[in-house]
Structure 1
Amino acid sequence: MSFSALRASVRKAVFPAPTVARARVQRVPAFRRFNSTQSTPPPSPNKSYTGIYAGFGAVAVAGVAFYVYSSQSDSAKAAGTALKSGAQAAKVAANFVPTKEDYIKVYNKIAQVLDEAGDNDYDDGSYGPVILRLAWHCSGTYDKETGTGGSNYATMRFAPESAHGANNGLQVARGLMEKVKQEFPWISYGDLWTLGGVAAVQEMSGPKIPWRPGRIDGFAAQATPDGRLPDASQGAAHLRNEIVALSGGHALGRCHSDRSGYEGPWTFSPITVTNDFFKLLFDETWVWKKWEGPKQLEDKKTRSLMMLPTDYVLTQDKSFKKFAKAYAQDQDLFFKDFSAAVSRLFELGVPTQQFVSSEPWILPTVDEQKS
């Protein structure tokens, strides 16, 4: 087949006429498994999802591969990304996407991975905090002015973004998610990483995080520049780029001196989502830690907890303090705002037409599925 003929086939496969797409779905019953309105049980997670691409958009995928890999120019890769985005939108329009039940299987696998930290003596017994941090950092690079960054392309897979200072230690989370990817090769990295963040919050007793799939994988040329993620050493002016509710995510996990330079947990229960981060900010007396590391605070009573300069700003800045105080007094309010903020964060940079659902899904926890 000539390249011109192949290119024509790509256009037809990626941008099919609506009537053709509908007719194809109606005539081929096998495709109905990917319509979220169907009740037919999806196949075993061990079964290959090659059929997703074999039936619809196979020529598009082949065309993208030919064009991109025969030309390593940035323009070729940009064109490849555009085709992939168009193919994803076309699959959504034709209901040719995995079902909600398929994504729940991925969620369950991630939940299983979270608990493997106990067997490996990792931190406090859960990989949840570091997986949530991966989802957070792959989404938080979005820049409203340029419309670049965010979770759509999962560009932290590439250098130099993978080596940015704010991403130190996240190779642990990316490695864990790669194991899940091998079992479910059909899911994009952006969907996988953000779904990991959802599972981390929900499985650590946090609120439900509305989520929906549709992200595509990009190229190294789309990696974001350094400096887009929050700098913990800065003050109120810098923190205004964040939402106070999102700071409550520091209820989870701890800092490591060999990664961020800081050291210690924020709360006494670093693998459970609570409003303790805000409570401790106001209930404890915080003093500057005397050590050789970067400037951070520790609680005067036990000297076992830490706060970052950006955390302490929440108690000093009037516009922040009223929200932080409200979250300290009302965990339900914190959960409500935190859920909404995280859901929006995870969707930054993703074109609406790529999402498989007009509204985000609420996925059940592992325990809820058993009941």
Structure 2
Amino acid sequence: MSLAALRASVRRVGAVAPAARASRTGLRNPAFRRFSTEAPQTPKKTSNTVLFGALGVAAVGGVAFWVYASNSDSAREAGSAVRSGVQSAKAATNFTPSKEDYQKVYNRIAEIMETAADKGYDDGSYGPIFLRLAWHASGTYDKETNTGGSNYATMRFEPEAKHGANNGLHIARDLLETVKQEFPWISYGDLWTLAGVAAIQEEGGPKIPWRPGRIDGFETQCTPDGRLPDGSKGADHIRAIFYRMGFNDQEIVALIGGHALGRCHRDRSGFEGPWTFSPTSVTNEFYRLLLNEKWVWKKWDGPKQLEDKTTHSLMMLPTDYALVQDKEFKKWVKAYAEDEQLWFKDFSAALSKLFELGVPESQFVTREPWILKSTDEQEQK
């Protein structure tokens, strides 16, 4: 085992409650994390970055001056339409960076995740905030208007960056900007969602099928505030938010299980604390605790949230607690609490779907999503 893998393993095991450690030791072995076979390798292209830029120049040439010299909304929207067409054309001709190129980006993201321990950030990983960035960049999708989602990476712009639900995500965007500088050919939407994939896979979770093809849009394509979940609400709110994106009850519960990773910060959301004893490890402990622990309302000067009666060190949001108060949601909480592999499978499918919301099928560079390798898998060669 590499030193990096050993550090990650020690960090994860040390943070887990004693009663839960033994049952999950085997699951952290990379051999138990695979849920899809490798997609066929895409042939390596020659001078991908140069060809990538040349195609963009050639395709946009006829309208480039008008689009980029004009400040009008129509010009900017036309620019996005042109760029979407360019991406679709590249995908149709397979004229894009290869899978190996995206694996290099993934690896760089994984390296940055580990630097959090040296910088004393949270629980020693940037994985949770990378996942939150990918989630919030994708979860703005509205199926009725076909707006929002991960395609345009509009959180780069002030209107969306300042939405209350996105407080603190500048940390993740700034960290990933260094990756963007190193790999300038990747779009922000692809970069951010790939960071979400890396967060799950590097922290012991399931494989997340992913494929590139998102393009960068303009400020006029920012979504209105209020499209992301409000942690202070109940079951009706949860359904309204997720049904708008096109998810059903089972997918809703599976996605909210992502709270296994990370914690809340009072200076961002107003809430405070981790959901589990192992906030840098992807497990089904969120469901087990939610279902079996005694939860009481926290007495403090912050917003309403719950804490575990036993240690007073964990928290649950009202939206989390609603999952065991609603009959249809609760049956899935029980199922995932009892079977971590079932949750891994359903979570992987739902998260992959979430990350693709708002992206035209023609833009994707591959029909079948890729399974990128974790750093552990690459080191075992």
Q: TM-score, normalised by structure 1?
A: 0.87
Distance between the aligned counterparts of 1:119 and 1:64, measured in 2? 48
Residue pairs, 1:242-253, within 5 angstroms:
242=242, 243-253=252-262
Distance change in 2, residues 1:71/1:143 (3 Å)? same
Whether 1:165 aligns to 2:170 is no
Pairing partner for 1:260 from 225, 244, 269: 269
- Structure 1 partner of 2:115: 116
| CA-CA distance at 1:94 after TM superposition | 1.3
- Structure 1 partner of 2:209: 210
Distance between the aligned counterparts of 2:236 and 2:136, measured in 1? 20
- Structure 2 partner of 1:180: 179
| CA-CA distance at 1:39 after TM superposition | 4.7
- Structure 2 partner of 1:361: 370
Q: 8 Å contact 2:44–2:100 — kept in the other structure? A: no
Whether 1:38 aligns to 2:43 is yes
- Structure 2 partner of 1:336: 345
- Structure 2 partner of 1:53: 53
Q: In the TM superposition, what whole-angstrom CA distance separates every residue of 1:291-324 from its partner, at most 9, and x where no partner exists?
A: 0000000000100000000000111100100001
One-letter code of the match for 2:119? N
Q: 8 Å contact 2:44–2:98 — kept in the other structure? A: no
| CA-CA distance at 1:63 after TM superposition | 4.3
Whether 1:189 aligns to 2:199 is no
Distance between the aligned counterparts of 1:263 and 1:121, measured in 2? 18
Distance between the aligned counterparts of 1:50 and 1:268, measured in 2? 47
Distance between the aligned counterparts of 1:114 and 1:309, measured in 2? 29
Q: In the TM superposition, what whole-angstrom CA distance separates every residue of 1:168-196 from its partner, at most 9, and x where no partner exists?
A: 00000000110100000000000000000
- Structure 2 partner of 1:287: 296
One-letter code of the match for 1:74? D
Runs of 4+ more than 6 Å apart: none
- Structure 2 partner of 1:311: 320
- Structure 1 partner of 2:103: 104
| CA-CA distance at 1:36 after TM superposition | 6.4
Q: 8 Å contact 1:36–1:95 — kept in the other structure? A: no
| CA-CA distance at 1:107 after TM superposition | 0.2
- Structure 1 partner of 2:148: 149
Distance between the aligned counterparts of 1:38 and 1:207, measured in 2? 26
Q: In the TM superposition, what whole-angstrom CA distance separates every residue of 1:319-355 from its partner, at most 9, and x where no partner exists?
A: 1000011000100001000000000000000000000
Distance between the aligned counterparts of 1:207 and 1:86, measured in 2? 33
One-letter code of the match for 2:172? A
- Structure 2 partner of 1:18: none
Q: 8 Å contact 1:134–1:193 — kept in the other structure? A: yes
- 5+ long unaligned stretches in structure 1: 1-34
One-letter code of the match for 2:347? F
| CA-CA distance at 1:119 after TM superposition | 1.0
Distance between the aligned counterparts of 2:120 and 2:148, measured in 1? 34
Question: What SS is found at the alignment partner of 2:357?
Answer: coil
Question: What SS is found at the alignment partner of 1:269?
Answer: coil
- Structure 2 partner of 1:7: none
Pairing partner for 1:320 from 301, 308, 329: 329
- Structure 1 partner of 2:199: 200
Q: In the TM superposition, what whole-angstrom CA distance separates every residue of 1:229-267 from its partner, at most 9, and x where no partner exists?
A: 001011010112331100100001000000000000000
Distance between the aligned counterparts of 1:191 and 1:334, measured in 2? 25
Question: What SS is found at the alignment partner of 2:228?
Answer: coil
Q: CA RMSD in A?
A: 1.5
One-letter code of the match for 1:52? F
Q: In the TM superposition, what whole-angstrom CA distance separates every residue of 1:112-155 from its partner, at most 9, and x where no partner exists?
A: 01001011100000000000000000000000111000000000
Distance between the aligned counterparts of 1:282 and 1:204, measured in 2? 23
| CA-CA distance at 1:198 after TM superposition | 0.2
Distance between the aligned counterparts of 1:208 and 1:69, measured in 2? 39
Distance between the aligned counterparts of 1:157 and 1:143, measured in 2? 19
Residue pairs, 1:18-29, within 5 angstroms:
none
Pairing partner for 1:278 from 264, 271, 287: 287
One-letter code of the match for 2:377? E
Q: 8 Å contact 1:36–1:98 — kept in the other structure? A: no
- Structure 2 partner of 1:29: none
Distance between the aligned counterparts of 2:310 and 2:63, measured in 1? 60
Distance between the aligned counterparts of 1:181 and 1:64, measured in 2? 26
Q: 8 Å contact 1:140–1:229 — kept in the other structure? A: yes
Tell me: higher relative CO, structure 1 or 2? Use CA pairs within 8 A at least 6 residues apart.
2
| CA-CA distance at 1:67 after TM superposition | 1.6
Using the TM superposition, name which of 68-77 and 144-153 deviates more: 68-77
Distance between the aligned counterparts of 2:257 and 2:349, measured in 1? 13
- Structure 2 partner of 1:32: none
Distance between the aligned counterparts of 1:236 and 1:298, measured in 2? 19
